[in-house]
Amino acid sequence: MESRDLPYFLIAISVLIGLSAVANAQTCLTPTGSYGTCVPIQSCLEIANEIRRYNGYLPQSLKDQLIQLRCPGPSPNDINICCDSLPNNGGDDYESSLNQYGLQILNDLKCGVPNGDRVAFGEKAKLGEFPWMALIKYNSVDKPYKCGGTLITHRHVLTAGHCLSATYNIVGVRLGEHDMNTDPDCEKRGRKFVCMPPVVEYGVEKIISHPDYKRRTLVNDVAIIKLNRDVEFNKHIKPICLPITKRSIELQSEQLYLVAGWGTTENSTSSSVLMKGLVKHQELGVCQNVFRRMRLTNEHLCAGGEGRIDACKGDSGGPLFFMAPYKTSNRYVQFGIVSFGVAACGLEEALPGVYANIIPLMPWITSNLT
């Protein structure tokens, strides 16, 4: 056995035995730049569960991740790693980890209110069904709308970090859109035509990109656009909820998410009408096997790969969301941002897509709602 292989043997043994955590663990910095705690590997539940899932036969990507997470803990006899302090699956410390000023802004909003029937697979969204959808406008003549986003406050739009193009500058945001070929947007309901108010264009006051965004690995693939004036909420323009409570982050392994968008960045056959579809949550290893050159971490979510409904239905920067428990009722809560997928999507054998995981990004997001 090579010396490099010895830690993985010890990891599997220590996890399966389930040793207790060591007290007085030291603060450390994870490879993504977030603060964590140096603990025995079996005490970092998310990593421990991942190792159990592979039954000791760890893929190279997870081995590499563990090497980067190694840290000198209080006991030299334990294998210690820098465990992200932010609980990804709930915990009493979740809300206290958020910026309290930004948390108050989100708490004061009436967000994510359902507006429409149950969602079917791969169809056009109903008029006004997802009023938080945004289109990001660039200084490009032939194709000005290249990314999507979501309205999250009276003044802020959430999108992907990779949407900050080096070629084109972001010059505005369009809200209240449904069909890009018509304004106002109308649809027939029974014998009547129902119309929404006109779309509204907003300028940009500033763009805030995550300081630890990595273009090569698309870690922390998130950005916030602050609009040049407050948004007046209307029936076709409302914010989506973000996961700000312990109750709203308790995800199920078989969770079905919604994706929505105009598909403007995925292929040459984009839709002028807002589309929607359902995608199933997948273990991160499923996406890791598809995107072997990328090192996926807990800052990513994997979804899709079943049927022919995939991230082609959404824009880069658009939302991954579902109707989740939120305070005292169920609301649409956003959990991911469309990050990257395969170039040839919508094939007979659909492949999953990768999304920026919003939960570990919430401390940064709430700190930048100024």
Catalytic residue IDs: 162, 221, 316
CB burial of residue 330 (10 Å; 0-12, 13-18, 19+)? middle
CB burial of residue 343 (10 Å; 0-12, 13-18, 19+)? exposed
* Among 140, 147, 209, residue whose Cα is nearest residue 173: 147
User: Three-class SS of residue 36?
Assistant: strand
Find the radius of gyration of the CA atoms of the chain. 21
Contacts of 327 (CB under 8 A, 6+ apart): 245, 247
Partner residues linked to 237 by β-bridges: 234
Cα–Cα separations (whole angstroms), residue 253 to 93, 218, 248, 303, 354 = 22, 23, 15, 11, 16
Find out whether 224 and 368 touch, Cβ atoms under 8 Å. Answer: yes
254: amino acid identity, one letter? E
What's the token pair of residue 42? Answer: 């079996």
Token pair 């914010």 is found at 239
Find out whether 335 and 362 touch, Cβ atoms under 8 Å. Answer: no
27: amino acid identity, one letter? T
Task: Write phi, then psi, for 51 (nearest 5 degrees).
Answer: -65, -40
**Percent helix, percent strand, percent coil in the chain, to nearest 5:** 20, 30, 50
- What is the DSSP-derived secondary structure letter of residue 242? -
Contacts of 266 (CB under 8 A, 6+ apart): 311, 312, 314, 315, 316, 341, 345
